Structure 1
Amino acid sequence: MMRIWGWYESFLLANAPQVTAVESSLRSITYILPGRFKDAEVTGEAIYTAVNLLGMYHDSVLFRIVYGRRRAAEGVVGDVRESILAGDVPRLSRHARYAHFWRTHSPSYRAAAVWLMIIENTQLLAEMLARRRLGRKCAWDVVLAIEIVKACLRITLVRATRLRPALTVPLPQREIDPALLERRIMPSNTKEALTWRGSRTGMVHRSLNALLPAKGPAKDQYEYLLAHTLTEQDVVSPPQLVRVLPGSVGQLGEGLWIARPLVYVLALRRWGSRSATPFALSLFLELLARSIRKRAYSSSRDAGPASPLSSVTLLLSVLGIENSFLEWLASLVSSNTRAKPISSVESDEWAARGRGLWWYFLRGPVWYRWTRPKIACFARRTEHRALIGMVGAIARDYLPLVDDYYYYSAS
């Protein structure tokens, strides 16, 4: 079995751009399948789920080869590793650094993150199959069980990261251009060798020739080096990219955010999707968790690692001017810095949770009384027009799916 997986990984690395293109094409096709034939939505969701699960495995393979610290002993993996090092490997993002750190240092985090991603990629298909095989009532039981498991997994993520917020995407994503895998390393005995091997460790490193552009004016080289300048967030320890939840108040806010989908499903089972009670209850918990989080960080004395230098501080320090007074004026203009994210990982997570509010336009009375009629009206008015009529037809085919299935509008 291991031999088969090894062969498949070699095939993936040798054909990464083509595999990525096939994945993207299959995902695009599944968007237009609903309404085309009987059970088209189930078929499309099954294909979408399979592609996403396979993509998760591909992401882990590419991440391990491109950013792994240990070179493979033999085979195509080693050749590809050297080939990548000879090229311009993109810098690991801060989100990937943070997620990879906890994945490698905490077995419970790794297990919870993997299972959470698997469940989120299969939950809609599970609801569809339960609705068709077990009926509407049992389908709600399946949805409730899924939300209970997801809440437990998110709590595990919080505990595994020592009481830090659970990220919406807890695993590193694919960040490398697959075209890099098609490059070939230059022979080591050439004058312009792009790699060199350490005599003690045996690891392959990029030479200076690989770091600078081979051609072009000095201005291009300066811009290239400037783009690769490290910032404070790039060198800080990965756990410090996300702050610990400040006290019991911060933990309460995170707990409300984790429990919100579970409470919403319970309310839907009790009052139905057309009732305003589940909608109002879920929105109230969402806004309450957001407010508690801001208040907890604002009142916390532990603001985490120092914030990056402001533009005023950086400019005046370069000029050699004392800037205490001007920095004080800048601090008066700015809002409470403790309530602001300390890194792009935090800011991206808060932004993702903020974008979740848009899903309320597909829920409850807002969906049935405002959003749905407008989409149906748009589909009717454009059904006889070219191109835009196709968009309206696809939107019309999704209306009954949003009506019937919970996970089409779940954040």
Structure 2
Amino acid sequence: MLGKIKDVYENALLESSSTLTTVESTLRQLTWFLPGRFEDAEIASEGLYSALSIIGIYHDSLIAKRLDQIPSLPPSPFPVVHTYTSPPIESNPSDRLISGCSSTSSAEAWSARQKIPRPSDHSRYTRHYCQTSPTYNRASRILVFIQYVQLLTEMVVRKKRGDKKRWQVLLWLEGIKSSLRLIMLGVTRRPLLNSPIPGREVDPSLLPSKTPRPDPLAADLEESLPDLPNIPALSPAPLHSHVLPLSDALPETLQSPAQELLPRLRGTKEWIGETMHATEGLVCVLTYIWVAHRQQRQGLRPGRGSISPTVPASWSLANLAQSTPTTSLIPLIYILVSRLLRRQPIRGDEGMTSLLADTYAERDNNLVWYLVRGSIWQRFTRPKAMGLLNALDKVWGLNLIATLVRDHVDLVDDLYYCEP
């Protein structure tokens, strides 16, 4: 029963794939307007966003499955003639798929394939390891699942159990995430990607509603003549129009190995740098917990600067960030050291592939998020942002935007995983 429901859902989803992206994007945009609208609206909004993200992984697998069913080679331009004089010739599996389909369906499928962009280097690399390494596949998908539910988990634990319990849960989450990254690092022995699984790069509306089905007449003929080779007739064929599209869309089996898109780590320095990158989140959470314990031992109230042995230190994120610049200083130093230990771009270095350069550039760009985290946010960025919002409140038509942004500022103050 469940299998039938699953098949019906998958078929309905792929047949109406043009509406898939529209529905998902509309629901995700709705989550931006929910915070502050009613009690526990933030939890409801993040729960909806997490559910959509997890379902999106399943939808991506369906799209990838449908994409694999589309032939990567065009139908043969030669008519097939059977003869009894030669021994059988083993054909390529993808060629058998195309030759076994009706000419109309295979031509339509090839036409759809030409409209679909080639997979990116990131997609090829991650798909290769997800398909060839069960350990990498499980570790990467568990990591992505945790990343989708970590903010929701923090919200629920903070509301139900308080700030101190929240930091204990965050320590467990970051410990598990760091362990999973180290497992993937051990499997690949190559730099870690920010997104360890292939993402959706194909517009679902470009997929054909039906995949090419085998021609029953051709199948019966192959069964009746199992040992006969296929010999192309010596009649003219449109070779130019047939072969030319293949120059820009070679099958993946004819391209360079996917694992070579990222170079292997070389030397102890690169291994240490990549290990530090894998544990950045764990070090950041440990810094907050260390600051809280130090203040608790000293009896110092965060943000007040007065000694009060009878009042315990607050474990709230805002108070810890305001009390000392250590909450931003230690993680930033740790990250910058890991950047110095990684492979540096050198002219003529063949190991600096485009995928590696993009990965390093994305890591460097992510440093901007530290403007909205820790003491940098509380002492520098937040006062300037609030001043701008107060100015927008006085402008007619922009006060609504200021109110919406202010609701999210409160979330950034209170939640570790919340980023604008």
- In structure 2, the partner of 1:59 is 60
CA distance in 2 between partners of 1:109 and 1:225 (Å): 32
Partner-residue secondary structure (3-state), 2:34: coil
Return the TM-score normalized by structure 1.
Answer: 0.74
The question of whether the paired residues in 1 share the 8 Å contact of 2:31 and 2:46 is answered with yes
- Which residue of 385, 408, 411 maps to 1:398? 408
Return the TM-score normalized by structure 2.
Answer: 0.73
- In structure 2, the partner of 1:317 is none
Q: 1:235-289: per-residue Cα shift (whole Å, max 9, x none)?
A: 2110100011112111100111111210110111121222211211100011100
- Which residue of 101, 123, 134 maps to 1:107? 134
Partner-residue secondary structure (3-state), 1:406: coil
Q: 1:155-213: per-residue Cα shift (whole Å, max 9, x none)?
A: 1111111x111211111111112112355689999xxxxxx99x979xxxxxx99x979
- Which residue of 141, 152, 156 maps to 2:168? 141
- Which residue of 361, 384, 400 maps to 1:351? 361
1:366 matched to 2:376: yes
1:181 matched to 2:207: yes
- In structure 2, the partner of 1:256 is 276
Radius of gyration: which is bigger? 2
CA distance in 2 between partners of 1:200 and 1:173 (Å): 39
- Which residue of 124, 127, 136 maps to 2:151? 124
1:151 matched to 2:178: yes
CA distance in 2 between partners of 1:364 and 1:167 (Å): 25
Superposed counterparts of 1:70-109, under 5 Å? 84-87=109-112, 88=114, 89-109=116-136
- In structure 2, the partner of 1:273 is 321
CA distance in 1 between partners of 2:377 and 2:259 (Å): 40
The question of whether the paired residues in 1 share the 8 Å contact of 2:372 and 2:381 is answered with yes
Letter in 2 for 1:147: E
The question of whether the paired residues in 2 share the 8 Å contact of 1:83 and 1:185 is answered with no
Letter in 2 for 1:273: A
Letter in 1 for 2:8: W
- Which residue of 264, 267, 278 maps to 1:247? 267
- In structure 2, the partner of 1:286 is 335
The question of whether the paired residues in 1 share the 8 Å contact of 2:106 and 2:212 is answered with no
Structure 1 51/200 Cα, relative in aligned 2: closer, same or farther at 3 Å? farther
Structure 2 gaps of 5+ residues are 72-92, 224-236, 292-319
The question of whether the paired residues in 2 share the 8 Å contact of 1:59 and 1:173 is answered with yes
Structure 1 387/102 Cα, relative in aligned 2: closer, same or farther at 3 Å? farther
- In structure 1, the partner of 2:310 is none
Letter in 2 for 1:116: L
Letter in 2 for 1:267: T
1:342 matched to 2:342: no
- Number of residue pairs aligned between Structure 1 and Structure 2: 342
The question of whether the paired residues in 2 share the 8 Å contact of 1:84 and 1:183 is answered with no
The question of whether the paired residues in 2 share the 8 Å contact of 1:66 and 1:81 is answered with no
Structure 1 gaps of 5+ residues are 190-195, 202-207, 214-221, 299-334
- Which residue of 197, 221, 244 maps to 1:171? 197
CA distance in 1 between partners of 2:106 and 2:326 (Å): 55
Partner-residue secondary structure (3-state), 2:264: coil
Structure 1 261/291 Cα, relative in aligned 2: closer, same or farther at 3 Å? same
Report sequence identity in percent. 31
- In structure 2, the partner of 1:306 is none
Q: CA RMSD in A?
A: 3.6
1:383 matched to 2:393: yes
| CA positional deviation for 1:32 | 1.9
Indicate the structure whose relative CO is greater, using CA pairs within 8 Å and at least 6 residues apart: 2
Q: 1:304-353: per-residue Cα shift (whole Å, max 9, x none)?
A: xxxxxxxxxxxxxxxxxxxxxxxxxxxxxxx5343x86333212211121
